[in-house]
Structure 1
Amino acid sequence: MRSIGELARDSGLGVSALRFYDRAGVLVPARVDPVSGYRWYGPEQLEEARVLARLRRAGMPLADVRLVLAAWPGADTGLVRGLLQAHLRRLETGLSEARGEFSALRNRLDLKEHPMTSPRTAAVRLTLSAPELAAALDAVRFAAGGDPELPVLGGVLFDAEGDALTVVATDRYRMAVARVGTDGHEGPRAQAVVPAPLTDAMRALLHGGGSARLTVVDGRVALETAGRETAGPCLDHDFPDYRRLTVLPAGRRAEVEVPLFRKQVETGPDRAERVREQDGAAYALSVLRFTDDGGVTVCADGDDGPDRVAVNREFLLEALTAGARDRLILECGAPTAPVAVRRPDDEDTFSVLMPVRLED
Structure 2
Amino acid sequence: MKFRCEREALAEALATAGRAATGRSGALPVLSGLRLELAGDRLTVTGTDLDLTIQLSVEVGGERDGGIVLPARLAADIVRSLGSGKVEVVADGDDVSISNGRSNFGVRPLSFDDYPKLASPVNTSVTLPASAFGEALRQVVRAASTDEARPILTGVLMAAEADGLRMVATDSYRLAVRDLVGQQVLAADQKVLVPGRALTELQRLVGGGDDVTMRLGDRDATFEVGSTRLTTRLIEGEFPNYRQLIP
Give yes or no for contact 2:144–2:154 (8 Å, CA) kept in 1. no
Say whether 1:288 aligns with 2:158: yes
Deviation at 1:292, TM superposition (A): 7.3
Match of 2:231 among 352, 355, 358: 352
* Cα distance change of structure 1 residues 234 and 292 upon mapping to structure 2, 3 Å threshold: farther
- Report the CA distance between 1:173 and its aligned residue: 0.5
Corresponding letter in the other structure for 1:297: R
CA distance, structure 2, for counterparts of residue 240 and residue 166 of structure 1:
15
Structure 2 CA distance for partners of 1:156 and 1:296, relative to 1, 3 Å: farther
Is the 8 Å Cα contact of residues 221 and 233 (structure 2) preserved in structure 1?
A: yes
Alignment of 1:308-347 (within 5 A): 308-333=191-216, 336-343=218-225, 346=226
- Specify the alignment match of 1:200 in structure 2: 76
Measure the CA separation in 2 of the matches of 1:254 and 1:292: 17
Task: Give the residue type in structure 2 aligned to 1:142.
Answer: R
Residue pair 2:97, 2:104 contacting (<8 A) in 1 also: yes
Residues 53 and 230, structure 2, Cα contact 8 Å, conserved in 1? yes
Gaps of 5+ in 1: 1-123, 278-282
* Alpha-carbon displacement from aligned partner over 1:53-97 (angstroms, at most 9, x marks no partner): xxxxxxxxxxxxxxxxxxxxxxxxxxxxxxxxxxxxxxxxxxxxx
Q: 1:201 to 1:285 in 2, by over 3 A?
A: same
Q: CA RMSD in A?
A: 3.3
Structure with more helix by fraction? 1
Question: Quick one: percent identity of the two aligned structures?
Answer: 19
Q: CA deviation at 1:317?
A: 0.3
Q: Which has the larger radius of gyration?
A: 1
Report deviation, 1:268: 4.1
Partner of 2:136: 261
In the TM superposition, residue 337 of structure 1 has moved relative to its aligned partner by 4.1
Paired residues, what number? 221
RCO higher in structure (CA 8 A, sep ≥6): 2
3-state secondary structure, aligned to 2:55: strand
CA displacement, residues 251-288 of structure 1 (integer Å, 9 cap, x when unaligned): 33322326522322234465x9x9318xxxxx711112
The 3 A distance-change label for structure 1 pair 246 and 255 is: farther
1:154: which partner in 2? Answer: 32
Return 5+ residue gaps in structure 2 as ranges. 178-187, 240-247
Hey, what does 2:120 align to over in structure 1? Answer: 246
Mapping of residues 122-271 of structure 1, within 5 Å: 124-147=1-24, 148-185=26-63, 187=64, 189-205=65-81, 208=84, 210-238=85-113, 239-242=115-118, 245-257=119-131, 259-268=134-143
Q: Relative to total residues, which structure has the larger strand share, 1 or 2?
A: 2
Cα distance per residue 1:227-250 (max 9 Å; x no partner): 3232210013522233xx233241
User: Hey, what's the Cα distance between the residues in 1 that align with 2:209 and 2:160?
Assistant: 19
Give, in whole Å, the separation in 2 of the partners of 1:311 and 1:128. 34
